[in-house]
Amino acid sequence: SQKIEQNSEALNIQEGKTATLTCNYTNYSPAYLQWYRQDPGRGPVFLLLIRENEKEKRKERLKVTFDTTLKQSLFHITASQPADSATYLCALDNSGTYKYIFGTGTRLKVLA
């Protein structure tokens, strides 16, 4: 069956450390994988997109990797800050359809 999985448990890290979030998928062939930030009661905010032929993408303190052999994406926030506390969602489109399937999200809490 098709699955997209993120750590359901909250991730607590100390300010200044690097947060690493994982997104694993099964039986999908994504052309694109996206990461979003979502604050409580708000819509998701687009952060980064990575294509199937890209290994890594960076934007300021954010880095995404995409391993289509392992069927996994890692999302890193370096020099984390309490303002980075939120739920982070990964989403993939199946075979370039632009219709995205989301994981359940991982809640990140950065402790001051």
Partner 1 sequence: ETGVTQSPTHLIKTRGQQVTLRCSSQSGHNTVSWYQQALGQGPQFIFQYYREEENGRGNFPPRFSGLQFPNYSSELNVNALELDDSALYLCASSSDDREETQYFGPGTRLLVL
Residues at the interface with partner 1 (CB under 8 A): 31-32, 34, 36, 41-46, 49, 51, 89, 91, 93, 97-105
CB of 44 to partner 1, least distance (A): 5
Euclidean distance between CA atoms 110 and 41, whole angstroms: 19
CB of 17 or CB of 42, closer to partner 1: 42
Complex with partner 1: residue 39 or 56, whichever CB lies closer: 39
Shortest distance, position 45 Cβ to partner 1, whole Å: 7
CA pair distance 9, 98, nearest whole angstrom: 28
Q: Which amino acid is at 76?
A: H
d(CA 97, CA 54): 18
Q: Report residue 49 as tokens.
A: 């997109």
Beta carbon of residue 49, minimum distance to partner 1 (angstroms, whole number): 6
3-class SS of residue 54 = coil
When the beta carbons of 28 and 100 are compared against partner 1, the nearer one is: 100
Beta carbon nearer to partner 1, 11 or 101: 101
Task: Give the H or E element holding residue 87.
Answer: strand 86-94
